[in-house]
Amino acid sequence: MTLAFDGPAVVGALAALDKFMRALNAGDEAGVNDAFNFPHVRLASDTVTSWEKRGDYKLERFYARAGEGWAESRWDVRRVIHAEPHKVHLDVQFSRWRRDGTTLGRFRSIWVVTNQAGHWGVQARSSFAA
């Protein structure tokens, strides 16, 4: 059964993306972990990385790849590809920014957001970002 793209699953998925971005920009590692469902998988730069449980994802690894001078990230595009009651696929683009207002880059990705026992969280990402 496919839901309308303005249904409760999409609302939950977009809220998880918002939670992720707020926590990332605040440097809130626990908040980023709370925006995920586990196991969580990331495919980028020909590498698959997985985190098995909440608390395994560490922001220090993100900072190491974010780019010199990273200050924040922003959503540029969030387009629903598929939506069902417990899973939503999204075509997204995010940008990384320096404090001086210049961009470090813009990156296209596919994100999969799931509902596990009532918790909407990002379960998988396939990104062209480093």
Residue type, 81: I
With 0.75 as the threshold, say if the pTM is over it. Answer: yes
Token pair, residue 48, equals 């698959």
How far apart are alpha carbons 14 and 118 in whole angstroms?
15
Domains of the chain by residue range: 8-127
Q: Quote the pLDDT of residue 19.
A: 98
Lowest pLDDT segment from 1-10, 15-24, 108-117: 1-10
Q: Quote the pLDDT of residue 1.
A: 37
Token pair, residue 128, equals 């062209």
For 39-50, what is the mean pLDDT?
94
For 56-85, what is the mean pLDDT?
95
pLDDT of residue 47 exceeding 60: yes
pLDDT of residue 6 exceeding 90: no
Q: What CATH code is assigned to 8-127?
A: 3.10.450.50
Spatial CA neighbour of 96 closest among 130, 59, 60, 49: 130
Q: Quote the pLDDT of residue 5.
A: 66
Per the prediction, the chain carries an average pLDDT of 94
